[in-house]
Structure 1
């Protein structure tokens, strides 16, 4: 590993911008010529082989080609998710997820576990936020801890060990940059399991989750509108429109959504606004340009959880089945003994009255796709991102057995983030000794500037457990931290088909990360050890295969590696913290099977992951040397439609995740489980559609999450829980609403048994637990025309 800076990112970005600009300038002549030509209809399809000798398709599904030629660049839209021309499958394995591979492979053709949750599934299952979406996936849990909104756990890894991507672009570690996001403007959510640095770079030790905004389509304009309201007085509204314009070759998409999601705790809510749009312009068969813009905003009055309370103090108000174990307060050091959640605090908000949790984000993206030759395609995307975030809250709620009150502590922090970058792919289809081969070479570069004003003092007080006097934040003094990060990466990914059914797939990524950090005190003077500079050069990759043993039945295996920052995240590294990268590797094998004329599908995977050189949260802002993290598990998912009106689906995941070599002064956590990692996660659902004049469908879904802990000490357990939802929707005939083509009314009951449970715990704030929402009722209406 070397430490010299390779190239300053500004030069790289200028070169990338020059390349993009050159192509755009050259377009003017093409525009004049192509404007007089009739453009062919564009059909979105996955990449196909160019070989003419064998007309039968060579992909895993075994479907036949419509033509022997390679699709033009315009036929493969520059979008993260496209859908195969083949019939959709129950587990959506015909989708193409670019966050899992840049080769244009479907989920079945990728030697890894990948899930793609479509916009249709989000609507049908009532997924309102990206955390809802994640919890419906195989083995994934989520919690909207306000310090780290939209936090995820999968395969034994959590938070910033999982890369969060937006249209394939990483903006920083999850625990610093993620926000609560409504699903209305999303076309899909892609989930790639296990170390995945080949595609998304540093931070993907546990995998990657990619949020894909809705894209333009070629064809008649389609409009949609959605509305919903629930018993907590939450409200959501969305309008979207897209299709081809009167300008030949120009397609558009526009979406506007607004929501107010009220919490079950007093005076808690999140308000979101999302406006997104994109234009695609097909200049010719071989050239397509596009541009996109998005503005997102969320404003919350945050719920920070319920404090752990001694069973002896709560008495008859002590609850069973939410938490268990004994606890010594990390904040005030008092011994709580056996703990519980007091039922008088279910709806209590301990936050100050002037609290805020706000973020504003702007995206600008644009690029082109150019067919340089029949077998050579160049694709480039330039992007700019800006965000302003602010937290001003009481964040600590720690019961004190000496005073029998709740000790509180305030925290303030703000972010000002600017990111610019470019991703360029060159795809080459070729024959190697008569064998089909596809090679994608990717160069990416970015420059990130991050300014973090934060609290220099932490006002605190103590309040009653029941009916606390919430008060106000109080005196605030600030200090400032900065981080400047440049990143350049060169990667290669290749697929070689040794036979019609067997393919080798591999890739290699060489990355350079440069960090400049500074920190000042309240007087603007630099703190000891600052400023400092550090650089890394991780090399990561993947090697695997897929084998379609019989049509529709595909076996796969892979070895993949990842890298991430060993201590917390790259934005906050200090000069005295460990500055090395961790390394992660996975061995995975499995099978994916679609059968019964696309009416049934199942998948299975088994994996073994090891992450080395780990540092973990020890409460507050301190870190422990965790040494090594090991994770072994299996995942099984299936869906079937045995008869036309009935659909059944389910998934289950088991993971054995634990620390090793986790020793520190005063003890050892070796053998303990990481926080927020259940051994068992299972989901299941069933629906039945009645063929009535107004078609009605009823359904039920259930979710089971096993025991979890809220800190590395494993002294407090968040107990296992099972919750269920029921729903019914009515499709209203067009004769009722002549102005619309489709209309649907949906009635939904969430958490139908009104189960009280712990959904998430923050290891930095182990004195409190986030509770799941109680039973709520919802009505929704959706229209398409």
Structure 2
């Protein structure tokens, strides 16, 4: 890890001047800290005599602090953006089993976990690398692969901001950012556990402890936290079986002089035997699939993958977080982080019927390995001050990192065999003609990033605040060919990018119960996906990042004597210089123009009675290609509303209620409705509307 950090320092020499300026600001901390402290009152909500403490699925807590929408320590009410915080209490009340289940509670978010793209998420009409998935505020720049669903036991909360947030987290985040936050030590001592049984022989065992090791009870000292979870399940298709383990351990220490040190370690391991890659659609009388398609009777639970099909991953996170309260109005924080992931795929992935639907044609054998390491360091500061008696807060920081991804693919795209749809032998992977054992590296992508950030919130009038932010990135991308050199695949290729992104917003506190906001934000992201997986064609054909902008207005309200809360936002996002997959060759990205999304999001919650609460959200989005033209692409339209980005849903709504089952056990029935999910850029490529409901049920737990 030290060698990796030395490499980081060497690769960032050309940014020494900027980094020195930041260090100069930090070095002046004692002088800044000497200024008179600004006394801030904590947010206070006044309730009537009939007030009932809101339930987790009741009114939205607009005074909760959010760390993803801003680094200024703002509440949801103070942030001029659509931000969401799903707390640990809500995770448990809703029975959310994994990170994707939690994220479905974010207005406008839809996700799925197909085996080759298990972190697939759509947010405000954008998907893939256009939505940043963060782990404790850190992007691994490999979103759709690294964002696989993980059991919710080890996580404290999930936060999100809709729309461009490159100014906070770097390239990407045009559609939004979703941040998964791991549990850390609390200044207390407690123990907890959970045991769960479910369908398909699902079993889960979870334990957790938070222990004070030294110091005054509940005060300064040393605190240890360990959370562990293991689960297994047999899937609903033939031969499918999954196992997963997660362990999170952290140590919080008070070192004196207002300095705290936290070490955090996280390990994840997952194995899926014979992953399910889908069911083929039957052909019509002309031998083709038409419209939405239909499956053959009796094939729903069939698994056409090979008998030893596999997905496996191991992940290691290590973080060192040092925080120093340099004064009553200045806080400095340093985060050193390291991430390593190893992933293996071994599957036969593609199936289709022959013309008369009598045989399933199997193809697409892929042996793949991903090796990824990310090492970086982030310095950030928060300075609270005032101008003419009005609050003015500053956040500043720098982030330096190196990310290396190496892929080891062996692919046989041709047809392997033809089997009976109902009675067949799956066969073994290495019995496929032409497939050999072992992994040979193909391409290494190395991304070096140095970034500086600055953010400010200043009250210009009582109740009216201007919130602004800037981020300057310096990104160096190096590709190294580990196989035969050709004209299309040279020995190496390099690109450098230096986007400047930002946000300007205004927040007006109309009254203690209501606020209105407006904001304009910009973003930048790779035109064809992720820099971590960029091919030589991507680098040679795209010499600049896409540019994204968003205009948004909205409001946040409390009502009914504090027993109700709601948020509303209206937005328009535009993205230019984009690329997309060629329908005739999905492995190649081609430039196609621009896209946009317009939408409305509403969220709200009510505490109806002392024992009954309800919370829900509804989102509408209308994404489209504003300038979609390509001599390669099958969708040859320009400014046509019928040509739509994928995947996306027109409408999405989700709701929860917290009544009590007859036994008196709290429960959280949930209803989710998603309309017209498009999976291809042409009008016929859409999935039908779907609706799901979770019934009131008791989950066996021991705590």
The runs of 4+ residues in structure 1 deviating greater than 4 Å are: 12-16, 59-64, 85-89, 523-527
Residue aligning to 1:481: 443
The equivalent of 1:9 in structure 2 is: 8
Deviation by residue 1:118-164 (Cα, 9 ceiling, x = unmatched): 12212221211111112232121111011111211111011221111
2:626 equivalent in structure 1: 660
Give runs of aligned pairs for residues 675-690 of structure 1, distance below 5 A.
675-689=646-660
Whether the 8 Å contact between 1:13 and 1:421 is mirrored in structure 2 is no
Q: For residues 686 and 8 of structure 2, what CA distance do their matches in structure 1 show?
A: 46
Mapped contact 1:227–1:781 kept (Cα < 8 A): yes
User: In the alignment, is residue 618 of structure 1 matched against residue 582 of structure 2?
Assistant: yes
SS of aligned partner of 1:571: helix
SS at structure 2 position matched to 1:337: coil
Asked if the contact 2:121–2:144 (Cα under 8 Å) also holds between the matched residues in 1, the reply is no
SS at match of 1:160: helix
Pairing 1:307–2:280 present: yes
Equivalent of 1:298 in 256, 270, 273: 270
Q: Deviations over 1:721-773 (max 9, x none)?
A: 11111124xxxxxxxxxxxxxxxxx2xxxxxxxxxxxxxxxxxxxxxxxxxxx
For residue 701 of structure 2, what is the aligned residue in structure 1? 781
Q: In structure 2, which of residues 519, 522, 534 is the aligned counterpart of residue 561 of structure 1?
A: 522
- How far has the Cα of 1:516 moved from its partner? 0.6
Conserved? CA contact 1:456–1:479, under 8 Å: no
What pairs with 1:616-765 in structure 2 (closer than 5 Å)?
616-619=580-583, 620-665=586-631, 667-669=635-637, 670-671=640-641, 672-689=643-660, 695-728=664-697, 746=698
Q: Identify the residue that residue 365 of structure 1 maps to in structure 2.
A: 319
1:231 to 167, 191, 199: 199
Alpha-carbon distance between aligned partners in 2 of 1:594 and 1:158, rounded to the nearest angstrom? 32
Q: CA deviation at 1:261?
A: 3.5
Whether the 8 Å CA contact 1:637–1:651 is kept in 2: the answer is yes
The structural deviation recorded for 1:413 is 1.5
On the 8 A contact 1:99/1:200 being kept in 2, the answer is no
Give the C-alpha shift of residue 675 in structure 1. 1.9
Return the offset for 1:568.
2.6
**Cα separation, partners in 2 of 1:61 and 1:507, compared to 1, 3 Å:** farther
2:300 to 346, 356, 360: 346
- In the TM superposition, 1:371-382 aligns within 5 A as 371-382=325-336
Distance 1:291 1:538, change over 3 A: same
How far did residue 673 of structure 1 move?
1.9
Q: Given the alignment of the two structures, is residue 466 of structure 1 paired with residue 419 of structure 2, yes or no?
A: no
Correspondence for 1:140 among 109, 122, 135: 109
Contact kept? 2:55, 2:607, Cα under 8 Å = no
Q: Please report how far the alpha carbon of residue 695 of structure 1 lies from its aligned counterpart in structure 2 after TM superposition.
A: 3.1
Q: Unaligned stretches of 5+ in structure 2?
A: 1-5, 24-35, 48-52
Query: For 2:569, which of 605, 630, 633 is the aligned residue?
Result: 605
Q: 1:710 to 1:446 in 2, by over 3 A?
A: same
Q: How does 1:540-559 map to 2 (within 5 A)?
A: 540-559=501-520
Contact 1:518 1:530 in 2 (8 A): yes
SS of the equivalent of 1:781 reads: coil
SS at match of 1:711: coil
Seen in structure 2, the aligned counterparts of structure 1 residues 639 and 307 have a Cα distance that, compared at 3 Å, is same
Aligned equivalent of 1:51: 38
Task: After superposition, give the CA deviation of every residue in 1:602-634 in whole Å (9 maximum; x if it has no partner).
Answer: 111100001111111234313343311110000
TM superposition shift of 1:62: 6.8
2: CA distance, partners of 1:495 / 1:647: 34
RMSD, matched Cα: 2.8
d(CA) in 2 for partners of 1:434 and 1:251?
A: 39
Question: Closer, same or farther in 2 for the Cα pair 1:542/1:622, shift >3 Å?
Answer: same
Number of aligned pairs? 651
Q: For 1:183, which of 152, 156, 160 is the aligned residue?
A: 152
Q: Distance in 1 between the 2:630 and 2:424 partners?
A: 38
Give the 3 Å change call, closer, same or farther, for CA 352–502 of structure 1 in structure 2.
Answer: same
Match of 2:386 among 414, 417, 431: 431
Give the 3-state SS of the residue equivalent to 2:546 in structure 1: strand
Shift of 1:370: 1.0
Structure 1 gaps, min length 5:
1-6, 23-48, 65-84, 314-333, 729-745, 747-778
**What's the offset of the Cα at 1:283?**
2.1
> Deviation at 1:456?
4.8
Residue from 364, 372, 384 that aligns with 1:417: 372
SS of structure 2 residue aligned to 1:652: strand
Q: Which residue of 2 aligns with 1:39?
A: none
SS in 2 for 1:361: strand
TM-score of the superposed pair, with normalisation by structure 1:
0.78
Q: 1:262 aligns with which of 227, 234, 244?
A: 234
What are the equivalent positions in structure 2 for 1:24-173 lying under 5 Å apart?
Answer: 50-52=37-39, 57=41, 90-173=59-142
2:43 & 2:465 partners in 1: Cα distance? 10
Structure-1 separation of matches of 2:78 and 2:423: 57
Q: Is the Cα–Cα contact under 8 Å of residues 94 and 668 in structure 2 kept in the other structure?
A: no
